[in-house]
Amino acid sequence: MNIEAALEEIGKAPTLESLQALKVQYLGKNGLVTQEMKTLGRLSPEERREKGRVLNEWKAALEKALEAREAQLREEALQARLLQESIDVSLPGYAFPSGGLHITSRIMQELVGIFRKQGFSVVEGPEVESEFFNFDAINMPDWHPARDMQDTFWVEFKNQPGFTIQGPFGEDVTGRGGAVLRTHTSGMQIRYMIQHTPPFRIVVPGRVFRYEQTDASHEAMFHQLEGLVVGPNITMADLKGAISELARGLFGEEGKARFQPTYFPFVEPGVQFAMWWPERQKWLELGGAGMVHPYLFKAVDDYRERQGLPRAYEGMTGWAFGMGVERLALLRYGIPDIRYFYQNRLSFLRQFRG
Ligand code: PHE
């Protein structure tokens, strides 16, 4: 038996099975080394000692070689498996469909953010409003021609006898006319003033409704942002400053505001305002504003008094504005039709996804 050749053969065994076969071939019950051992009895004592030592060395060398090769083969098998099972991170993954904010929400957040920076608080009010807050208290009694400027969804509660609209203190303000889907956010001026004492500055983002024939520039539902600032010495200059700041917030340092006189029953004087869009060199008509009409302060104080609260608005002045949110988006993005906003067509909405 050639021990060198045997060790080399073991070192090159290609598989665990062939290695096992070699183990049997050399060290098995009828293996070559075992057979050699059996011949020892026929030798002289010296020869036996010498050959026995050599055979034991062979046996040890073979066992060591078998073990080493086995470890090697197992390691190779493991590496091969790891390679096969590894994750190929260069493969494209699964795309999870992700939602996004509606274009109206994004514009609203942008607007509200600009006012927050100037210390305004953000408050919201009910969409189903009483005739009193939506109209009467802001100087639009039912005989007033200005009511005709806003076509209204009137809501009846015929089948909900217990239904009421609550005022700022939980009192029933449903009133004679029942309820309306608010035609603007200006009713919140009254709700907020009744509950708070000046000075304060607030913005009111909200959804409003008008009973209109819809077309490219009219929807029956849209959004407004209302602003109200009241204090002891608030002037028209503060209003101009705030709207100018809004213009800069929206259109950069070159943004500016323009006022033109107009009429709203709840402000005096009243203006419509536009903002200068430097990029397009255009004025954008965005809303109405003005100094809070004294009628509103009186209506609020009378209401407070009925609730047992002290009058708080004598000697105060303030300004308010209201602007259309979709309108800003339409002009800024050149959207041709306001009805696209609420048709839930993804091909439209995705273009403005945040
Ligand atoms: N409420 C008015 C509208 O909807 C806008 C406005 C608000 C005007 C506040 C003046 C002051 O048209």
Four-CA torsion 269, 180, 206, 348, nearest 10 degrees: -120
User: Is residue 30 helix, strand or coil?
Assistant: coil
133 assigned to some structural domain = no
The whole-number average pLDDT for the span 107-129 is 97
Q: Other CB atoms closer than 10 Å to residue 314's CB: what's the count?
A: 9
Which residue's structure tokens are 């909900």?
A: 160
pLDDT band at 85 (very low <50, low <70, confident <90, very high): confident
Least confident of 168-182, 231-245, 320-334: 168-182
Q: Does residue 139 have its Cβ closer than 6 Å to ligand 1?
A: no
One domain, residues 69 and 188: no
In this predicted structure, the answer to whether residue 14 has a pLDDT above a threshold of 70 is: yes
In this predicted structure, the answer to whether residue 1 has a pLDDT above a threshold of 90 is: no
One domain, residues 245 and 298: yes
One domain, residues 21 and 123: no
pLDDT band at 318 (very low <50, low <70, confident <90, very high): very high
In this predicted structure, the answer to whether residue 158 has a pLDDT above a threshold of 80 is: no
42 assigned to some structural domain = yes
149 assigned to some structural domain = no
Q: What is the pLDDT of residues 229-254, one digit of tens each?
A: 999 999 999 999 999 999 999 999 99
Question: Would you state the pLDDT for residue 228?
Answer: 98
For residue 183, give the ligand 1 atom closest to its CA: 4
243 assigned to some structural domain = yes
One domain, residues 68 and 107: no
pLDDT band at 163 (very low <50, low <70, confident <90, very high): confident
161 assigned to some structural domain = no
One domain, residues 123 and 19: no
Q: What is the pTM of this model?
A: 0.74
144 assigned to some structural domain = no
What CATH number corresponds to the domain at position 316? 3.30.930.10
Pocket test for ligand 1, best of 151, 152, 263, 264 (most atoms within 8 A of CB): 264
One domain, residues 11 and 119: no
Residue numbers of the domain that contains 252: 103-127+184-352
The whole-number average pLDDT for the span 296-320 is 97
Asked if 155 and 178 touch (Cβ cutoff 8 Å), the reply is: yes
Overall domain count for the chain: 2
One domain, residues 210 and 309: yes
State phi, psi for 253 to the nearest 5 degrees: -55, -30
347 assigned to some structural domain = yes
> Which residues sit opposite 291 in a β-bridge?
319
One domain, residues 213 and 329: yes
Rounded distance between C-alpha atoms, residue 158 and residue 262, angstroms: 39
The whole-number average pLDDT for the span 211-221 is 90
